[in-house]
Amino acid sequence: MVVSPKITKIEVTTFEHQLENVGKDYNTFNTVYEKGGALTQRGTVLQIHTDMGITGEYPGVGGPALAQIQHASEYLIGKDALEREKIYQDLKRGLRHWDMTGIGPIDICLWDIAGKLFDAPLYRLLGGTRKPLPAYASTLHGDENGGLSTPEQFADFAEQCYEMGYKSFKIHGWGLGGQRIQREIDNVLNMGQRVGDRMNLLIDPACEYENFAQALAVGRACDEANFFWYEDPYKDGGVSQFAHKKLRQMIKTPILQTEHIRFLEQHVDFIVAESTDYVRAGAHEDGGITGTMKIAAATEGFGLDVELHGPGPVHRHIMSSIRNTNFFELGLVHPLVKSTRSPFYGGGYNDDLDGIDSDGNVFAPEGPGIGVPLDWDWINAHKVDGGILAEA
Ligand SMILES: [Mg+2]
């Protein structure tokens, strides 16, 4: 018998939570360490209910995605929850005027439904193998508050991470390109001297350097310090194919672009333009598991590796199901900040600094679907908004 769970209801629950010992830096977009500081984190859980009594749930919905889910909710009612490909294609057209980040949580919920229906974790549905996933410690941005405020403090933290089991470490620096680019260069060179003989070193300026010349200067330092990759250096926003092809011609360090372009077609265009070495993709940004698997396969077809953006159980499942990838991004971490995440997952799931085993690895969850229970007591205790977006 062919099973066909029909979507009956789209529901959201928005919560707020205070993160401790963090604040904002000079540009208000970077979260950084600040002793005694507090930031309100807001998030939304999406639930897609079906007529078979199975509900897909995903807690990683941000504001712009929520607006798009609202826009798409009427369309989803009555659809077969297993027809992910049709829904992906329809939503890609329906949301084409926006950044399309609404598609990711919807697609992930549909995969969660499938996993619960067939009583299998997602990596099993994807044909994967549960295996060690090497994690890198991905830092909070550098701060001016005595946490990660000097190259020495960054290197001390890298050594701490190495002692914990991490084999790889990623700097998110201070930015302030024009005035302080030398500090970024010093950080790269010092890191190479202190831990370069035993850790894979990565740096992500998160598009904060002012111009191409500064991107090139730090890239040349990465060459000297033998960095593993150099990611999104400057204020083109990470999207210029011409500039990054040029940068690749001028430095030796592999670059990682495509975090800030969307979906399969733009990724393939970027690869064909010879504008990146490693290929960035993410289930939030690139159309969920369906979209990310397409990019992973396209990348494999070019003989290249895909690197998933950010942590979470969904990326653990995807990473367990593809060959051409290297690292799990565990972050954002800091020596003096306990967590930068709201604790909506139960079941002991952990993407904080101590979430690795002694060899620096993480593993995919083993429960059905996403495979990690949501802590609904916590979510409801922190609920500030929500309701039904559409219903049959
Ligand atoms: Mg990045």
The domain total for the chain is 2
How far does residue 202's CA lie from ligand 1's centre (Å)? 10
Ligand 1 midpoint to CA 74 (Å): 33
The answer to whether position 243 is within a domain reads yes
- Whether 282 contacts 308, CB under 8 Å: yes
Domain match, 109 and 185 both: no
Tell me if 369 is assigned to some domain: no
The verdict on residue 274 lying in a domain is yes
Residues 114 and 174 in one domain: no
Q: How far is the CA of 208 from the centre of ligand 1 (A)?
A: 11
Give residue 382's domain range.
7-120+375-391
Bridge partners for 134 per DSSP: 361
- CA of 259 relative to ligand 1 center, distance in Å: 6
- Same domain, yes or no: 179 and 96: no
- Distance from the CA of 284 to the center of ligand 1, in angstroms? 13
**C-alpha 296 to ligand 1 mean position (Å):** 17
Q: How far does the centroid of ligand 1 lie from the alpha carbon of residue 231, in Å?
A: 6
209 and 79 co-located in one domain: no
Ligand 1: centre distance to CA 266 (Å): 17
Distance 51 CA to ligand 1 centre (A): 39
Q: How far is the CA of 299 from the centre of ligand 1 (A)?
A: 18
CA of 30 to the centre of ligand 1 (A): 12
SS (H, E, C) 262-323: CHHHHHHHHHHCCCCCEEEECCCCCCHHHHHHHHHHHHHHCCCCEEECCCCHHHHHHHCCCC
Distance 387 CA to ligand 1 centre (A): 33
Residues 242 and 352 in one domain: yes
Token pair in block for residue 302: 């070019």
Distance 233 CA to ligand 1 centre (A): 9
Domain match, 272 and 357 both: yes
What's the CA-to-centroid distance between 80 and ligand 1, angstroms? Answer: 35
Same domain, 90 and 174: no
Instruction: Report whether 291 contacts 88 (CB < 8 A).
Output: yes
314 and 191 within one domain: yes
Which residues have a beta carbon within 5 Å of ligand 1, which is an ion? 204, 259
The verdict on residue 2 lying in a domain is: no
Instruction: State the pLDDT at residue 302.
Output: 98
Q: How close is the Cα of 262 to the center of ligand 1, in Å?
A: 14
**370 occurs within a structural domain:** no
Q: Determine, yes or no, domain membership for 303.
A: yes
The CA distances from residue 200 to 60, 134, 230, 320, in Å, are: 29, 11, 12, 21
57: CATH: 3.30.390.10
| 110 and 169 belong to one structural domain | no
Q: What is the DSSP string of 68-114?
A: HHHHHHHHHTT-BTT-HHHHHHHHHHHTTTS--TTHHHHHHHHHHHH
DSSP 144-156: SSSSS-SHHHHHH
Please give the distance, rounded to the nearest whole angstrom, from the Cα atom of residue 254 to the centre of ligand 1.
14
Tokens at residue 60, please?
């990683």
For residue 209, report the distance from its CA to the centre of ligand 1, in Å: 13
Inter-residue contact 43 to 342 (CB < 8 Å): yes
Inside any domain, residue 353: yes
> For residues 325 and 306, is the Cβ–Cβ distance under 8 A?
yes
CA of 239 to the centre of ligand 1 (A): 13
> Domain check: are 276 and 349 in the same one?
yes
CA distance 147 to 371: 35
87, amino acid identity: I
Place of tokens 């190259």: 151
CA of 68 to the centre of ligand 1 (A): 23
Q: What is the largest CA-CA distance in the chain?
A: 67
pTM of structure: 0.97
Q: Which two tokens stand for residue 13?
A: 């629950």
Q: How far apart are the CA of 31 and the centre of ligand 1, in A?
A: 14
Distance from Cα 278 to the centre of ligand 1, integer Å: 12
99 and 148 both lie in a single domain: no
- Asked whether residue 368 is assigned to any structural domain, the reply reads no
Ligand 1 centroid, distance to 107 Cα (angstroms): 22
pLDDT tens track of the chain, all 392 residues? 789 999 999 999 999 999 999 999 987 889 999 999 999 999 999 999 999 999 999 999 999 999 999 999 999 999 999 999 999 999 999 999 999 999 999 999 999 999 999 999 999 999 999 999 999 999 999 999 999 999 999 999 999 999 999 999 999 999 875 568 999 999 999 999 999 999 999 999 999 999 999 999 999 999 999 999 999 999 999 999 999 999 999 999 999 999 999 999 999 999 999 999 999 999 999 999 999 999 999 999 999 999 999 999 999 999 999 999 999 999 999 999 999 999 999 999 999 999 999 999 999 999 999 999 999 999 999 999 999 999 99
- Do 205 and 309 lie in a common domain? yes
Residue 137 belongs to domain with CATH number = 3.20.20.120
Tokens of 113: 């439904």
Q: What is residue 27's predicted lDDT score, i.e. its pLDDT?
A: 79
CA-nearest of 114, 25, 101, 110 to 60 is 101
